[in-house]
């Protein structure tokens, strides 16, 4: 099936924000869902109105990332976007890649090192790269991304620090800002922090981590998030009946 459009994925995302008020994205972790089960879930996401699927993980434990992405992409007609944890998570089978720079940390490999290693491959295969400032926010526990990145998150009660990073990202020409509480976070990104960032920059804002109900999705959107991402909570098959509630909470129009 696959996403088919003359517009770029970035333009598609911006149009979603304009037409629906905001968007809802689901994160698929290849280490948590096998290829034989992921198709049904991906189709369920598409039918429920999920705007795009992110695929990636902090620590890739299994081979076959490219095949996994291709399997997902062939099952849906919405964009499948790589949310990479490392260079190994680059494949031409996706529609685009969030070209992340972990601006909240000071680990040079994740600020620019992995990007330099990945750029020639991304250019060669013609994969759309969406430059994204990735900002890790303290969430009450050590998350996988914090541990694997060897960086400290920005304190959740210091919105001015996040705002300064977001401003720098916009001035550097980045297209998206992603505030991340982390997989399985105890707390989501504070609404006050979201409002502070949105009032300071003009590029779209993605918020993810620690979101477990539709009411929280609605709160993040009301605070100004352009897109909300949910992964862990909806990976649990018993929670997947809530998909439509999450989508409707994100779409304000």
pLDDT of residue 108: 97
pLDDT of residue 185: 93
Q: What is the DSSP string of 11-32?
A: HHHHHHHHHHSSEEEEEE-TTT
pLDDT of residue 178: 98
pLDDT of residue 229: 98
Q: For the packed helices 191-198 and 159-171, what is the interaxial angle rounded to 10 degrees?
A: 40
> What is the rounded CA–CA span in Å between residue 240 and residue 246?
10
Report the sign of the C-alpha dihedral through residues 59, 62, 68, 69, in that order.
positive
Give the ranges where 76-158 is alpha helix by DSSP (H): 108, 114-125, 144-149
Structural domains for the chain: 9-250 (3.20.20.390)
pLDDT of residue 179: 98
pTM: 0.97
What digits encode the pLDDT tens for the residues 50-71? Answer: 999 999 998 776 778 999 999 9
Identify the segments of the chain with pLDDT beneath 50.
Answer: none
User: Dihedrals φ, ψ of 31, to 5°?
Assistant: -80, -10
pLDDT of residue 1: 84
pLDDT of residue 221: 98
Assess contact for 46 and 76: CB atoms under 8 A.
Answer: yes
pLDDT of residue 184: 82
> What is the rounded CA–CA span in Å between residue 64 and residue 214?
33
What pairs with residue 109 in β-bridges? none
Burial grade of 245 (CB within 10 A; 0-12, 13-18, 19 or more) = middle
Farthest CA pair distance, the chain: 45
């Amino acid at each position: 099936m696959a996403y088919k459009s003359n517009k770029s994925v970035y333009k598609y995302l911006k149009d979603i924000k304009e037409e629906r008020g905001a968007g809802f994205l689901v994160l698929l972790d290849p280490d948590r869902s096998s290829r034989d089960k992921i198709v049904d879930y991906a189709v369920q996401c598409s039918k429920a109105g999920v705007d795009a699927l992110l695929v990636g993980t902090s620590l890739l434990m299994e081979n076959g990332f490219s095949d996994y992405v291709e399997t997902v992409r062939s099952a849906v007609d919405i964009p499948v976007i790589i949310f990479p944890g490392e260079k190994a998570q680059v494949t031409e089978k996706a529609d685009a890649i969030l070209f992340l720079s972990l601006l909240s940390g000071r680990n040079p490999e994740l600020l620019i090192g992995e990007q330099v290693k990945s750029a020639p491959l991304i250019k060669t295969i013609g994969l759309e790269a969406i430059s994204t400032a990735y900002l890790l926010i303290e969430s009450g526990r050590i998350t996988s991304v914090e541990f694997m990145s060897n960086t400290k998150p920005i304190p959740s009660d210091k919105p001015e620090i996040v705002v300064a990073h977001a401003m720098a990202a916009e001035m550097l020409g980045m297209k998206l800002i992603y505030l991340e509480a982390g997989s399985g976070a105890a707390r989501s990104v504070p609404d006050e922090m979201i409002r502070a960032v949105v009032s300071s920059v003009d590029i779209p804002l993605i918020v993810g981590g620690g979101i477990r109900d539709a009411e929280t999705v609605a709160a993040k959107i009301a605070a100004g998030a352009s897109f909300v991402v949910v992964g862990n909570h909806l990976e649990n098959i018993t929670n997947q009946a809530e998909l439509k509630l999450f989508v409707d909470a994100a779409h304000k129009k």
